[in-house]
Structure 1
Amino acid sequence: MKENTIIKSFLMIWVGIYIFIYGFPFPLSHIPFTHELFSKYILQLKTGFILFFGKSILGIENLEKIELTGSGDTTFDYVMIPAMLSISFFIGLLVIFIKKINRNAGGFYNWSLVYARYFVGLTLISYGVAKFLVGQFPGPSLYSMEVMYGEMSPMGLAWRFLGYSDSYKIFMGLSEIIAGFLLLFRRTAILGALVSIAVCTNIVLVNFSFDVPVKLFSSHLLVLSILVLLPSLRSLFDFLILHKTAALGEFKPLFTQRKFKIL
């Protein structure tokens, strides 16, 4: 029984650390002037470790981070996943031997889920707002309408198809904004996770089916949404599938003092 508790605590710490490492320096990266003062150094540190892991551990000699490609599925991005999992694993092993941290593994994991909620929520809101702008899914241009069907890339075909209908872009944008907004608040977090899973599943399928190079990032958004929902999955299963009386439980705030809530 004690071994099961230790394993469970370790898994929560491991996953929680990975969530923080993957998302950081979010949300500081959204605050003006923090990139030059802080965020860029954290990103350089992460980049250095990923390059070291890829070259020294995986043996990828020519590994490099290619800037400004618009792709999130480069070799560097794929190496980042095992690199971040590995460093999270060893940090988790280190802290699991500290009894105080071991006892508070559940509290730490809850904090990581709050971080995941805001990471996914604000990302989906930014995705949704982009649907109302010209940058994502633009309408067919004169040039694109003259391109032969067979000459289009899978991504180009998807972009032209989705960009044709303004009403569908509005629907996609509103769906992402609503999902992101619901994730930002404790009382609506479960509903937000359900909507987010539906929205992110569609995004992931489009990215994989049409070779859109944001597969890794969109998959992380989906997995994080599932993790947010996971603690309430049993209650939802009892209510929706078994038709039993079920309660989601009280969502207690992590902060109790008013000044910290405001902060």
Structure 2
Amino acid sequence: MKNKSGFLNQSIKTFIGFYVLIYIFPFPVNHFPYGYMLISQHIDSAKGSLSLFVGKYVLGFENLEYVPLNGSGDTTLDYISLVSYGLLAALISMAVLFLVRNKSRLDQFYHLILIYARYFVGLTLISYGVIKFLQGQFPSPSYLALESTYGDFSPMGLAWRFFGYSDLYKGFMGVAETMAGLLLLIRRTQLLGALISITVTANIFLVNLSFDVPVKLFSGHLLFFSLLIALPYLRSLIDFFLLHKPSQLTSIVYPLTNKWKKIIYWGAKAYFVGL
């Protein structure tokens, strides 16, 4: 029974790991100079082709079209992509579970995926936070908006004007998102960053859901990834906050004994934090 439970747990983590990898990749290639032009757009196109195939030949949809960078993340094809990524992750997971004999490698893979997700969520939240201070996401209401009637606004337009009215609230959101992102980039503060990120991304997801902002899938995944990052510490959090037991966080250590590995690691970290 214990072996079955352990295998099921490992299977779920392996599936989640590959799903996260498929969803996030080719990040961070697109942050490199010419990265999108040379690599990312081709990978995105391949993922779009996979979703088109699944949509047409598995789910029976017609008249589907892949449109890159269309400004919306909630198209029919985007919803189909969840199914296509899930199917691909399931197939890869079954093959890996069958072929890999050393199961500890799968645990290492899952921990690395959590690091990958941590940097993805962290850098995304930092970009979300910084743009709040640059009048980029929620600009102050224009004269045209102020002269428009309530019925002229879409739900998203109404929300954008509402948030754009208060510089204080924009600043509060920007600080919260930036702080969560920065804390996620540091291993020792990743749990605190994940907990703040959960509250921040839950708010973002709820706003997108409530006001029909077409980024519901992406914000939902940010919330999902934040929960995954905090999940390994769930037992310690329950002991401390609910059971009032002495509790200590377990630190996952990734030893880098090779000098060049350390140089590459810290160089890559400095590069992405400075983006």
- The question of 1:146 aligning with 2:147 is answered yes
Which amino acid in the other structure matches residue 72 of structure 1?
G
Name the aligned partner's letter for residue 226 of structure 1: L
Alpha carbons of structure 1 residues 142 and 254: separation in structure 2 relative to 1, 3 Å: farther
Deviation digits for residues 192-234 of structure 1, max 9, x if unmatched?
0000001001101111111111000000000000000000011
TM-score when normalising by structure 1 = 0.96
Which residue of 2 is the match for residue 2 of structure 1?
Answer: 3
TM-score by length of 2: 0.92
Structure 1 residue ranges without an equivalent (≥5)? none
1:29-178 aligned at under 5 Å gives the runs 29-100=30-101, 102-178=103-179
Query: For 1:47-66, what per-residue CA distance to the aligned partner results, in whole angstroms no more than 9, with x for missing partners?
Result: 11111111111111111123
Distance in 2 separating the partners of 1:101 and 1:131: 47
Is residue 123–residue 180 contact of structure 1 (8 Å, CA) maintained in 2? yes
- Aligned position for 2:272: none
What residue is the counterpart of 1:227 in the other structure?
228
**Structure 1 residues 212 and 168, CA gap change in structure 2 (3 angstroms):** same
Query: For 2:256 and 2:12, how far apart are their aligned partners in 1?
Result: 25
Question: Any residues of structure 2 matched to 1:5-24 within 5 Å, and which?
Answer: 5-24=6-25
What letter is aligned with 1:47? G
What is the one-letter code of the residue matched to 1:22? Y
Q: Deviations over 1:81-113 (max 9, x none)?
A: 011011000100011012335342211110110
CA contact (8 A) 2:49 2:66 kept: no
How far, CA to CA, are the matches of 1:118 and 1:140 in structure 2? Answer: 34
Distance 2:183 2:191 in 1: 8
Distance 1:7 1:106 in 2: 13
Work out whether residues 6 and 102 of structure 1, in 8 Å CA contact, stay in contact via their aligned partners in 2: no
Q: Provide the secondary structure at the position in 1 that maps to 2:203.
A: helix
The residue that corresponds to 2:241 in the other structure is 240
Q: Deviations for 1:124-183, whole angstroms, at most 9, x for unmatched residues?
A: 001111111222101010010111012211111110010001121111111101100100
Report the RMSD for the aligned CA atoms in angstroms. Answer: 1.3
- Residue 26 of structure 1 and its aligned partner are, at CA, apart by 0.1
In structure 2, relative to structure 1, the CA distance for the partners of 1:256 and 1:189 (3 Å cut) is: farther
Query: What count of residue pairs does the alignment treat as equivalent?
Result: 263
Tell me the amino acid that sits aligned with residue 178 of structure 2.
I
* CA distance, structure 2, for counterparts of residue 67 and residue 118 of structure 1: 24
**Alignment partners' CA distance in 2, 1:188 and 1:259:** 25
